Structure 1
């Protein structure tokens, strides 16, 4: 029994110790939690008893969970990169510590009534109409116009901004509009013009913004009457008539631009008995495309162009047609842009005899409320209707504008305008600025060439073709002289022969534009190839002269053989390919199948040519210097002296062969231009003759080969003659034998 009780003691002891163990474990866990809490930094919490985790909206440098006690949990900017939050359209994001919120942008308010929201799905921002808020947003002299997210203050109809208060939102202040100043041109005496400006001053004194339509109608009528019967204006000198026209065009445009601001929205037309016509459109926000018609002219533009002035809302577009203005602008000068002048004048040679122009359309003026219309973002299209006209072979239609100078004078110009299409009764133009426009037809005489120069050109090129052909055959057939120099001579002769032949036969074939462009491209390539081979000739000449003083020349000769064909034919091909790819339409002119000088395209030929003959001139001068030094050091060896002198003569002749004489073309200016033209034509048309003379006739080896050929020809001719004589002799000898046989036959017959 006692032993039984003793056995129960350990069990009871275990039961008593269990609560103590649980309490001990609970105390240990509590101690661990306390240590971990003390271990984690601010804006973080304990994670798995051994680490810390940043609270939502915060992050540490090592990540969301970390173990290092020196880490810090810093705020995440949800409104900026890399954590970009989308609040939606017309809303702004605001960052807070550990979070963010969204609000509507200024000028917008939430339709839900909530001041803040969290993401794009809760966005209900909409525009606030500041003009109906009940608060005075604009000055009493202006009208408030609501815009998306904001508002504008615009002058009332018939009012204009005070000086210094233009576009100063929201403090724009306006005053009642006054008639703009318009004074007559100084120094011109005319009763009709004086009477006209008296009537303009009457309109100015009586002007009221509310009566703007009536004032514009009276003004159009006054201009119409002045242009219908100009009377003493037509007796003025042409320069003064042009000055009056400039004053009328510019002044009328300025007055109408100002007065139209007092008109209500819509399209209005004003016309007078003699044909002067005004079409206006005034809109707050017009249609995208606008079309105005006035008499025989139609104008098409994009409404956005009219809004580019930064005006407070209303825009005006106007078109004025003044048929009588042509009387004052008769015989006005036409100034063309360089590329169009080149198209008109055409040929690269000859003298322009004269230019005259005839107005085909009415003179029109286009204007906007925006006065700065010199560089519009998109072109304005004008369609002019005119009487049926048949153009002659030397007549061209141009879209022009009246370009006036500060002193009041002016001339017709094509700058900024281009012709889109033209027919017998209408012409379409596009211009990148606004002014006074018209369509005119320019008539010009055919450029007259000097007949003596033409004869010299054809005779010289004909002789050169013959000499180049003989030279090419010599270089091909004369094996005794075939070397690197001969290969250069042969390629130069071939390129020049083809270029001269194509020039003589096809330079005037302008009937088919595509064919003419191909001919121009071929001439461009052949002449550039000729000059490239001239450059290689100059280099070879210099190296040959240098060989007199340098022993090792074989390596240079090998390099020349490898590079001359890729350079001679490859370089001009690259130049022509780049030129054709960049400006393909400038190959061919109306009168010549050659490069159009417009847009400086001619420099795609002149640039390489000037470079080549400059380098060749340097090569020739260095060669002559080397030969001079060689001559001074020579002994009395007659044969060597003669060879060196012959080389000196050839080096001098290279000035003509290597194209250095083309610099005479640049000197055709001033009093000596005529003489230089003759020298240029004579020397350069005989370039093939110089090649045949220097490389063939003056070469001893070639002359010896010519002698062998001539001897061979004589021998062949002599053998042919001997053969012919022997044939005749044999024929004559055979005739008696035949006769004898016949006689013998006859004798046999008688005997029998």
Structure 2
């Protein structure tokens, strides 16, 4: 219970008790007889004999130590109760225990030895206890412990004060707001728990030699502009301010929508965006136009916004009025340039319009280009923009741009000169419109090349997201009054840019409401550049297509038989046979290429389509050249009989193959992009390129027609001279057969194709006549040159006999009588064929 001394004391006390018990044990004369012991001894006692018990040390009964009465008890002796029988000394207290006691130091003190208690005053070595040192966390809530005599006190640290609501808690003292701030006026006081810092504000820095944080800190401004520590956009320049900076738009630039000028986040855009045409478009006229517009941008002043708009429109008019080298651009490049100019003009006009203070503005240029603007801070309902070319009616809510600061604007720009760049563009029909047309015309419909009737009208609003409007916009376009012909229709279309073709007209989302007295009303659910077009639809006649395919297939078989006949039948070999042979070869090749590759299924003019168009151009030109040689041979045979044998083979080959090759080479060198169309692989009509085929064909047909008339006239004279007794009916029949035969040989039937499309008109009857006459040309040549030729028939009979094993004489005997009359009639015509 105590120190070492106390333990020794207990051991000695126990030995003494054992010795006493030993001496008081009952003694018997006889060693074998035990001493009797009382069984009623109370607790905390030991048996002395049969009649007495002794209380243990530290206990006593009412009769002191020896207990002889069974009713007595041994009770604890409280040594610590006065009068004290023991002394613990100073700075100590006595603590009673059962049968004993011990001493402890009073609170605030402890034994030097570190023991918890002691048993005698001589062992008292109590000293003062440092509570703060023994238990650093004795004070809660970050209070400071202060030791006192025998105790301790918890206080708030410097910079903190006791919380009035709970004294055991401390709260921070804000020196920055309590008037205790000694910071310099160039710094910012930053309160921390229990203290404060004097730090430089953002955009400031400590002066040389001054730290950043202590109460003696002094700061100076940071020039972010000269040190390049700013984050201004490239479209702005930096202006330093005390402790900060701002970003100002460059000269000739304005803040972008959603941004303000002279802010750290300002972003600007050029009033005249620096645009150059895409790679591949080189034009001095275009370069001069952009230089002129950029000069306007460098000299721009907000007060002259209206005048600048006029100058831009006049510059565009000058470019389109005298295009210069723009006319030498290919069709895709012209369309691509038109797309760039429309987008560029839209951006410039939208930016300049924001600066105009007036609520409206109109301008009509010298070259009939018009601009109408409406500018409003707030507006609702329906507004109308009008001019001589077009009128627009829209819901003002559609013009308001989402998140666009400043006034709301709506503009309508109309230009007739833009037609020069957008001419000969293709048309893409809306699927519903296309299905309706196919149902009306009874066959597949393709969009032909439309003709522009109205001015090109561009619409721009503050709202740039105009691909799908909540309410449709109504337009009324003025144009020359023109009545549509067969397979033609007035349509409302918009211009759509394309990376491959440069752009095309489309109708999706726009439809015609009505047309009357040179004005067409349209309605659209999106905005772009619009125009009224006269569209010519290419309708595929399935019956005509079937006739073409069957006729060409049959002609290919017949032409092949003709070629074999002219090569193998020796009796007919000669100058005319050579012409027949090469005419059939050219027609065979042209028909085969036409049948296999005329359709452009991908709707993209690629190298393969251009190659097919070039081969068709050459083969059919060569066929017509050999047709001209047929006419020349016929002229020598009928008109100039016995005056010459015609041309030599060298001249035949030179004319038949050399001239078409020369024409194709010159055409390809002059305009190689003229080969191939989006719908089929043939010559394009722009720049009149198709006349590189139509011109020579028309000339040859005209010459052959003269020869044909001359030949028929000569044959009429010969019929009368050879057989004057022949009646008029037989003469007319033979002459008719001969004339019809020569029509196919000389290619005069192709003249119907020159009148098939004339000024946009289309004739179903003429289309069927043209197709039947020319797709079956190979069949007609086989009938004329092979089946109706006596020498060829005889060779066929010989070949048939050799194949069947019969004698040729049997065939000639059986057929001579039946063919005598026919031969007699045809012999006269054969002399002229």
Provide TM-score, normalisation by structure 2. Answer: 0.39
Greater CA radius of gyration, 1 or 2?
Answer: 2
- Point out the structure with the larger helix share: 1
Provide TM-score, normalisation by structure 1. Answer: 0.43
